[in-house]
Structure 1
Amino acid sequence: MELEVRHLRALVTVADEGSITKAAAALGLPQPALSAQVRRIERAVGDEVFVRGRTGVVATSFGRGLLAKARGVLREMDDLVVLAQQQNRREVVLGDAGMVLAEVVPRLEAELGDGGHDVRVHIDVAAGALVQMLRAGKLDAALVSEPVGFETADAQGLRRETVVPLEPVFIGIWERHPLAARTEIDLADLAGESWIVNPQDNPGWLAALRVACAERGFEPRIAYEAVHQAGARAFVGSGRCVAIADALSVEGRGVVFRPLAGDPVRGRIDLAWTDRCPVPAGVLSRVVREAYAALVDRNPVYSAWWARHAA
């Protein structure tokens, strides 16, 4: 008799369950058939793997050594199956906290061609949620946006590369606000304003804002909370409040976006991915950088900021 993977899995299941009866149920086999299989395996390896008793089975000294090797083989086999699945996958699932993937997806689809992968997207403002989805295998890669110096998402164990090393935080403000005429706004000039924030956002952004405001002698008055972006924008557009905003935000519906003088709150965008990602990281990184540059070029306010920053 030659040992097969199914034999090793049967032994490990028996050891984990501590009972032939329970292991048979877990494996979908009749209990007598599994008992007979274990006996054949023991004859093949030349020694007892389990000692049987009234309360179940316990691995012998020989069995513990055999089971350790069996678990190693099963892990290797599972890895091979995952690798084969990756090679055959025709889908890539990407995550983002903002609007960059709207430009990334068509570019990536063009890059992969007709025989490429289907691209799916999940948008979540919380960087920590994206990282958890990466770890759970629900995402292949994600754009993780974090405030510099106030990072909260633990991406340890994931592959990660910075694609936008500095992203300024803009202020969303009513288009008829006296400060809207400026090309940039001093944070100190917002001391008397009410603010609207997203309580489900990365808490690091609010922490960074509070610290920057404290350095200018005031505490931001958080008057409103909104998890709905359009609802928050409507409040800003009514002139009732201001908000921190993505620098790529497009003006309209009564709202304009302005950079803060000196960029007191700064962000960074990283590309994080798992080993199971079916698209090479180098391709994703290049496409993301190109997409981001294209979005900047289409946004006059942000494009002007980049021109000043480069100078």
Structure 2
Amino acid sequence: MSPARRGHRARGRRRALLAVLVIAAVVVPLSGAARPEIPAPAPAALAAPTRATLEADYAANRANAAQASRMAAAHGDTHRAAVDRELASPARRLLAFDGRGPGLATEVLGDLAHADRVAVLVPGSDTSLDTWGRFRSGALSLYRELTRRAPAGTHPAVVAWLGYRTPATVSTTVLTPGRAEQAAPHLRRLVRDLRTVTDAPGRPARLTLVCHSYGSVVCGAAATGLGVSDIALVGSPGTGAASVAALHTPARVWAARGADDWVAHVPHVRADLFGTTVGLGADPMDPAFGARVFPAGAGGHSAYFTPGSPSLTNLARIVLGTPVDRGTPEEER
């Protein structure tokens, strides 16, 4: 087959994929009733955190989670009541909490007041308070790997940030950057707050965004001028941008994908049609995108934080600022 004919067929496939996305995102309505909103109190009214107010902020958010647990139990939702009750435990460090509906929460693992290496874990689709245990498990794996690998005198922390309503994996919303654009100002605010808490005179903390799946779209929307050292994209369907340069960030941008991750088959297209932006843009694993690619191993879409995996090892190295295994040229492709 001639190169011209191959190119024509490739363009035809891309147009067909784009048509499917358009139909799904613009024309086809979602079926099924939405889950009823779970009652909970309004979030605690708190000023931006500082090092001096952290413990009081944690306590206020734990108290709010305890009240939310009681309300969920009275509503008959025993699962949510149990999740909220766990978050209200005295040992938990909640930087933010909102138990209403799907819920929002920001939990700190480690001593944030004295941390100098901080990873912010940004989740993807289907993450809510109902799945908080799964999300926290990944954050905890990263925190343990950081503490195990941290050089002497280094103090790591992980912030598990569920600061936006994530889209459902099977939904029209996950095909567009809309939720990410809504989330971006909240992620920027979190980074500013973390700078206030962690930066010391002459010793700014090293902040890294670790962005999983649709979370990488959120990180892409927030990236411009963001005060972080690194942005690591794992299992990314795209960032909404055509290249690292288009993100307008001074941070180093990394990308990894497990060999068995289904997200590799997501079509990388983006178009503005009927007033809706459809598609999530270029593949961060494409050399033309310009990210620093690192090995993630043989795992699937949910395996990036598996203890002992190449992806977890390299994520810890990125957060700590130590040399990263870039793999062989074949692996990077």
Rg bigger for which structure?
1
TM-score by length of 1: 0.23
Would you tell me which structure has more helix in proportion to its own residues?
1
